[in-house]
Structure 1
Amino acid sequence: MKYADVNGKLADYRRQIASIRESMRETLATVEPQEVKDYEFASAEGSVHLSELFGEHEDLIVIHNMGVACSYCTLWADGYNGFHQHVVTRAGFVVSSPDRPEVQKKFAESRGWRFPMVSHADSSFAADMGYVSAKGGWMPGVSVFRRDGDVITRVSDTGFSPGDDFCAIWHFFDMLPGGIGEWPGPSKGRPSCCESH
């Protein structure tokens, strides 16, 4: 097909995707929130409760990160630096992983991460939210919470996987001839943490 014809077809696909996203937002607006307890986490500054992570906001975004063992979770987290300063003007934002706070702190410093992190290692948070697999492995994703007085509810969540909407690099690769190709290279390969759980 000619370049102009392909561009037109792709533009039509993007309009369809935009329409689906609008339908998803409309569906999300009808969901009955799931009440959750005020989980306790560990952080580099000491213990902290879920309710404290909201800061001045009524909404909170919590990333379910699998920790330093997952190179793809690191890839997603590298991307949060760019928009963290913007997202916190609208909602609280924190990355939760099973790593201990001292491990998180050292790794975050090595990556230049500026967003807050908490450890759910000693809580049932990840399991209760559905981010532990049937085999007992951690799973990546995001949960969104709302605080109304002393009541905290989860209003939405979704899992992460290579090619999803939460890591922009996939969409740039989609535009290259051959797509993702051999990236990240035969020596690295696809990490086992992102295989089916």
Structure 2
Amino acid sequence: MTDANGSIQTLRPARQLADLPSRFPGESAAYRRSRNELLAEEIELRRHIERVAEQRRALPPGGVVPEDYRFVGEAGPVTLSEMFGEHDTLVTYNWMFGPRRARPCPMCTSLLSAYDGEMPDILQRVAFAVIGRSPIDRLVAFGKERGWRHLRLYSSGGNTFNRDYAGEDPAGDDQPAFNVFTRGDGTVRHFWGAEMGPSTADPGQDPRGAPDVMPLWTVLDMTPGGRGSDWYPKLEYGAAPR
């Protein structure tokens, strides 16, 4: 693995780093042995995530964006290049809330609700745009209903952005998608887009990207029951547990 200066670093074996003594009250020797074996795998997973991120950053220049797409934001018309603001990187998320939907996708809503809280930090580093095909007033109204404060919402109802970068059929279903764009020397390029989906899913698993972008699943994956196989987020629930 290379450090920030490009120097090769020799890493200690994960199993050696994971050789911890008992840590928690009442744990058995069998529990600690199994936990340390798991810890070694967690260290290796972290290292693999770092390698993948490094490989992603090293991608050659992506394709030039075919047009400066025009959207409608809360303040009026805006182009893709204008969404960058002061940054040279723009992250976009295709929100499954097209005009044919009575209500938006619950999974998208769960994800975006988590990101709304992170947005003041994210916007220090990159620009971030949430793009849906419904009229902007409809997008904004739902955002207010959910209590979103920081997400920047845009309607793509008048362009082909969603079709070009999320594979959406204008007459069909919405598709979720992350895309990353860069801007330099007056040129906007596509840097990376999420391409994992049903065709790349493993048997018995819900299709998802890697690393998983859902904070909800990250938390549930640390629990004995995991994320389950028959539960997904909803837009509304019953009375909150006390």
**Pick aligned residue for 2:89 from 56, 59, 82:** 59
Question: Alignment RMSD, CA only?
Answer: 2.6
Give the CA deviation at 1:118. Answer: 0.4
User: Bigger CA drift: 19-28 or 137-146?
Assistant: 19-28
- Structure 1 contact 64–131 (Cα < 8 Å) conserved: no
Aligned counterpart in structure 2 of residue 110 of structure 1, from 145, 149, 166: 145
Q: Distance in 1 between the 2:68 and 2:226 partners?
A: 43
Query: Pairwise mapping of residues 10-89 of structure 1 onto structure 2 (< 5 A)?
Result: 10-28=38-56, 29-36=58-65, 37-67=67-97, 68-89=103-124
> Which runs of no fewer than 5 residues in structure 1 stay unpaired?
189-197
Give the strand-richer structure, 1 or 2: 1
Unaligned runs of 5+ in 2: 1-28, 98-102, 198-206, 237-242
Q: Secondary structure at the match of 2:158?
A: coil
Decide which moves more: 161-170 or 51-60: 161-170
Number of aligned pairs? 187
Q: Which moved more, 1:108-117 or 1:162-171?
A: 162-171
Equivalent residue number for residue 166 of structure 1: 213
SS at match of 1:34: coil
Summarize the Cα distance change of 1:131–1:13 in structure 2 as closer, same or farther, 3 Å threshold: farther
Structure 1 residue 183 corresponds to structure 2 residue 219: no
How much has 1:85 moved relative to structure 2?
0.2
Matches of 1:3 and 1:135, distance apart in 2: 54
Contact 1:126 1:132 in 2 (8 A): yes
Q: SS state of the match for residue 26, structure 1?
A: helix
Instruction: Return the letter of the residue paired with 1:92.
Output: A
Q: Distance in 1 between matches of 2:220 and 2:63?
A: 36
Letter in 1 for 2:61: E
- CA shift at 1:133, angstroms? 6.2
Identity of aligned residues (%): 27
SS of 1:129 mapped into structure 2: helix
Aligned structure 1 segments of 4 or more residues deviating by more than 4 angstroms: 159-164
